[in-house]
Amino acid sequence: MIEPKHPKLSVVRQCELLELPRATYYRQPKPERNENLELMRVIDETYLAHPFYGSRQMRDHLRLQGYQVNRKRVQRLMRLLELEAIYRKPNTSAPHPRAHFNRGGLYAVRVDGPRKSKTGRRAMETTSRRTSPPFAMW
């Protein structure tokens, strides 16, 4: 990505072109501590046995085993391991089976006479929901 010995572009210019701070280029990531690696191993084993454990239950399980951890640490380590609790999530995209609505966003309005103004439309919309099928769509 960045070539430090590029013949024409300096590291500064390459970082500018990539919109990358130079400090990010020079920063050396720290390796995980042995304690965290041990926790990650235990979390992974526990997750295989109990895939429905989230960070709270995993924290409680680890505390019962004698590890002193908080939930934020367990969340971070589970994120590193790409683990997520398996649970039923809400199906918010599916409409209720008894829900009915007009996809266009406008409700059907009964046309009773030749002079229906737009201001009267809102009042007609609320009444048209409770009446018989419409004769016209606005």
pLDDT score at 91: 77
pLDDT digits (tens, 9 = 90+) for 60-71: 999 999 999 999
- Is the pLDDT confidence value at 35 over 90? yes
- Is the pLDDT confidence value at 129 over 60? no
Cα–Cα distance measured from residue 58 to residue 46, given in angstroms and rounded to the nearest whole number: 8
In the chain the first and final C-alpha atoms are separated, in Å, by 57
Cα–Cα distance measured from residue 36 to residue 55, given in angstroms and rounded to the nearest whole number: 15
For residue 8, give the 3-state DSSP assignment: coil
**Domain layout of the chain by residue ranges:** 1-30, 34-80, 105-138
- Is the pLDDT confidence value at 82 over 90? yes
- pLDDT bucket at 73, cuts 50 / 70 / 90: very high
Instruction: Report yes or no: 43 and 82 within 8 Å, Cβ to Cβ.
Output: no
User: Greater confidence, 100 or 87?
Assistant: 87
- Is the pLDDT confidence value at 12 over 60? yes
Task: Please return the burial class of 53, using the count of CB atoms within 10 Å of its CB with bins 0-12, 13-18 and 19+.
Answer: buried
Neighbours of 58 (CB within 10 A): 24
